[in-house]
Structure formats: structure tokens, C-alpha cells
Structure 1
């Protein structure tokens, strides 16, 4: 074997020294095919050697903790690649003879061998040895046409070809097993960061994943070609919009005897003068800008305190844009009123054109519907909003965007 491998090595070295540019295209393609076949055959030989060395315990006899570690040092491989080599060798050793012969003949590669061996093992467990033998022939035939990834997908329906009578029962069992794994593995972890932010990690089952996608996908689309948010930021904002909608419905369970709500506490003077910060009921701090923005939202309950700490206003009906006033606002604006936005009313907050803390009243003439994104944009950006002569909102762009500051309107929501 050593002599043969040394001769093969010399032959390959000679090929390497041959100028490829002088060959015809036909010869180059033929040489590529031959090199690939040789590579697969050498892989089969290499895996056989690894398996034999592993079985003899050579690695531990030479002081290594495992065959993978020994291969890492011996062949100067990464530890991951070394472990994969040992796993492939074990897979080949356990594969049916037909699969080993196919690899030796270079009709399959090592990745396809792994797929075939795993698929055949599944068939054997589901339909017995006879069906497993049939599966070997079918899969080896497919391997001549399809790569390992597609071969694995095709292998999920192999029973339709080799044991149709068992295919339906196996498919049903597979679906039930998948549902069981999904139910077992589902979880959501909420980790609070030191600055008040939350890190979300988890796995959703199929139904919850479908519901989440149905809820946030429409809200995650860019709001025009100039939307500066990344895809991750858009998904974040969409999830926040869904939560605000849930708070607005009033259908959530009570929490400590009160309806589910977010409470922000701030001083009246700080709110009116845009000084200082506010505190959530969790103890976390918010900037003055965030407090003023959130104070517009009927889903948020502000607790405004006077100098002595007494409550001056805790969600007074005259401050909140709700009930008949909100219905009138929806009839007028039909959705987010910001130019070019298509968000429907249910995703929108009621915004005071002149802020309530600045003396603005809660009326149709001082209100406008804005989606969460444009609500933040209006509070933190250079845009302003007013009602035009016809009573509909119009937005004044900043001078750096439009030196003429021509008012703009939302023409997306059709009005009659």
C-alpha cells in the first residue's frame, strides 16, 4: 500500500507541474473529472486507515487523549476537522458494503456516504433489512445526480420508493416526533441588561413561529427607500408595535388587580420644561424626550406628580386620545398620517400636535395618528406637524431636507 501511494503521489506531483493552460477545454474537463475521482478514492483509503488506527487504539498508545487529538497533531488539522475525520471513518465502517464499494469506485463522495448511511439506518429501523438494502441501491443511484444536501432532502421520502406500505406511517410518526421535539424545546429567555434593555433568546414551536411571522413581517418592511433602519432594527420596532397593539386592546389579563399597562412617573415641571427624566414602574429611567413621546400614547399611563409628590394626573380621560375622539381621529386620518406611510390605524398612537404638557388640549384639532416609527421620528427629528386649512394633517420637512419647507401629506390612505 505504501509503495502504491508513493507512486500515486509522484504521479499527482507530475500533474501539478504540467501547464494547464496548454490543454484543450475538453482535456481540462476530463482532467477535472479524473482528479475528483482520484480525490474520492484517496478519501476512502484515508478513512479506512483512520478507522483501523482508531480501532487499534494507536492514538492513546502514543499518549494522545483521543484519535481526533492525535490526528490534529499528526496531520496539522483543526480539532474540528480531525473529529469530523474520525466520525466519517466510523460512518464508512458502519455503512453497507454497497456504499463502501461506491465510494471506492468514486461514484459517491464522503458527504454523500454520510447521508446514505444515516438514511439507510432510518429505513432499516422503519421498514426492515430488505427495504434498507433496496434503499442503498436507490440512494447510490441518486448520488450520481445530486449533491449531499439535495440527497438528504430526497432521502426523507425514500420509503415511498422502497417500502410504500410503511411510508405513510413513518411520515406520520416523523411529524409527531417533530411536534414533540418542538413542544419540548420551546422556550423564551428574557435577560435584563444593566442599562434596562432586554436580550431575547429562545426557540418558538411551529405554530408560535408562524404567528410571530404573520404579526411582524408586514410591519418589518422598509418604510420607503430612505428608511435608515437595519433589518434587525425593523424587526425590533415591529415587535414593539405588536406589544403596543396588545396593550391597546384591553384583552390582556389583569396584573395585580389592575389592567395591564405601563406606568411612567415624572414631575410636572420636568415634563413641561423637558428637563430631567422619568421612571418606569420597574425602576428604569427614561429620557425626557422618551417620556414626552410615550405620554401621547393611550396605551401608556403617565403618573404626573406635583412638587410635593401628589398625583396631578393619572391617565385623565381628557388627556388620553381614546374613545370617541380616537374613533373620530381614525375616520379622519385612516392610518399613520406621516407622508408615505401605509400603517393602518390599529398600529398607530394618538399624538398631541401641541403637547399636553405644553398646554395643548385633547381634541381632534390637536391630534394626529402616527405609527410607532414615525411617532419616535417626529419627537426626535426636525419635522413638525399641523392641520391644514381643510382640517387634515400636513407635515413640514426640515430645511436641510427641503429648503422651501413645502408641507407634505400622506396620500396613501384614500379619502372620499
Structure 2
């Protein structure tokens, strides 16, 4: 397979450099169709490989919490996109082989294959395997004419064509299946932008959408005739108000032993003179004006840093790992320090590099932030961790994973 894929890669590389402008219109359209079909066929190969990786448990063997997280690190996918690929790969492997073959033949796109797979599962649960086979055949034919959205609409009444005797009774089953898909597909993705902003994307199920609207709608009305904000800007500001109101309650669970909170690092003298920017524990920077505004309702904890930003000392509010030492860890590691993990500091445990039971001290030079999965993984695997020459953690993989055992670092939390 590797040899064949290498040959395909060479062939495609040659096409990239070809002069598309020189093609006659007929050949241009034919080339576009061929490239589109090839994309679908490669997707079928990718799904087969993902299914095998998932089935073998490769992700956990290599230290990831699940296959979706491993695919994000390996292929630079978002976790929701990776999960959708895993779900489709599993469905094609265990479901109707005709869908997998149609994708491999280049007759379906990934989105069309996902629609047909979902519809076939609903039909099989309602009217049996024979009706599901008929539905797959019919929808595969329709896929040559209709995009995924239209194909899903047609699929809602597919039983009228393949099992008319049970169509009415199956309507409720189809609605129930749609509700289950909504539950399965619910997600919220937070994508950090290079300038410190956050992009929100996602899909809310019906109940959550109702809760969200009930909370945000009263706060989105214009504040007066001089309010020039757009509707989108008003919704943004309403979400900020909801977050502020929520943080003022005492009902949120703790993170790492501390209440839910915003942590900002800044220069105290410059703060009092309104000259200093601030760095959030999640990475982005804030303007002096924003830092001053947040400082009005905050407790200030002093910390001493070296010229390279390494934490040297930190004021004490509580003893041991849950107080000032944990804040020092957050300032240094900024999240789970294990390579490839993007878990924020509030989801992390403090791990003793030299175990406490073996005489290790509770100090910054003997601690590292790890999420729950990687904390367990480090205790039960051959990975090791130590601080590098610059005082930041680096992890050495086992020899079976990397014969050279080159130290690795986490790059998700870097600020520069």
C-alpha cells in the first residue's frame, strides 16, 4: 500500500505543476471531475486506515487519550472533524458494504456517505436489512444529482419508496433517530486566533439551544437609541455578560483546587501607572485598559520572575500544590505539558517529577502540569519527564516508540 500511495503522490505532484490554463474547456472540466473523484477514493482509503488505527488502540499506545486527539496531533485536524471521520469509518466497516464501495469508486463524497449511512441505519432499525439495502441503492443513485443537504431531506421519506407499508409508523422512528444524531453531533469548538481572539463554532441540540436563547436574548436588545452595535456585536456582549454573571456565583466547580477565575500576569508598578499589558493564563495578552478594568474586582498575588519569564518565587495564599505553587506551575507550563496535549491548566493535575513517595519535594523544580489522562499515562508507561536547561518540562518517549529517545516538548501553549 505504501508503494502504491507513493506512486499516486508522485502523479498528483506532477499535476500540481501542470498548466491548467492551457487546457481546452472540455479537458478542464474533465480534469476537475477526475480530481474530485480521486479525492473521494482517497477518502475511502483514509477511512479504512483510520478504522484500523482505532481498532488497534494505536492512539492510547502512543500516549493520546483517544483516537480523535491522536488524529488532531498527527493530521492537524480539529477534534470534532476527527470524531466524525472515526464514526463514519466505523459505520462503513460494520454497515452496508455498498456505501463503502460507492465511496471507493468515487461516486460519493464523505458528506453524502455520512448521510446515506445514517439513513440506512434508521431504515434497518425500522424496516429491516432488505429495506436498508434498497435505501442505500436508491440514495446512491440520487447522490449523482443531489448535494448532502438535499439528500438528507430525501432520506426522511425514503421508506415511502422502499417500505411503504411501514412508512407512517417509521416517521416517529426517523424523528427519534434524528434526535439521537443531534445528541451525538452536539459540540462546541473554541479556536484560538493568532491575535488572542477566540472563534466559536458548534452545533447545539434543541434543548441546549432553547436554554441558550432564553439566557442570551434578554441581553441582546439595544441599550438605547444611541446603541450602534450590530446584532452580532450585541450577542457577543451578551455572552460576555452571561460569563461575568456566572463567575460571580459560588456554584461553579473548582479547577485544580481554585475557584473558577481569570488569571492575569502583569507588572504591578506598570499596572498602577496604566502602562502594562497583561498575559492571561490561557496565552493571549490584554491591553493596559483591560487589565486595569479586571483588576478592580480581583485579588492580586505577587510573583517574582526572571528575565526569561521563569518563576523564581510566588506569594503564599495557601500551602502546598493547590495555592501559590500551582499558580507558579500555570505561569510556567500554561496547560498540560505532555507533547501534543492542548488541555488548559484548569483541567490539569500537578505531578511530582520525583515521586513524593520516593522522597521528592513539593517544589516548582519538581512539578509539572498534566491532564488526568497524561498523569495516569506517565505513571503507567515508560515515558519520563525532566526539566530542560531553561527550566521547562521535556518528555522522553520509550525506546520502542522512538529508538533515539529524543526529548519532546509541548508546543500548544507557547506564547511566541
TM exceeds 0.5?
Answer: no
TM-score range for the pair, normalised by the shorter chain length? 0.3 to 0.5
Highest relative contact order (Cα 8 Å, sep 6+), 1 or 2?
2
Q: Which structure has the larger Rg over C-alpha atoms?
A: 1
Q: Give the TM-score taking structure 1 as reference length.
A: 0.44
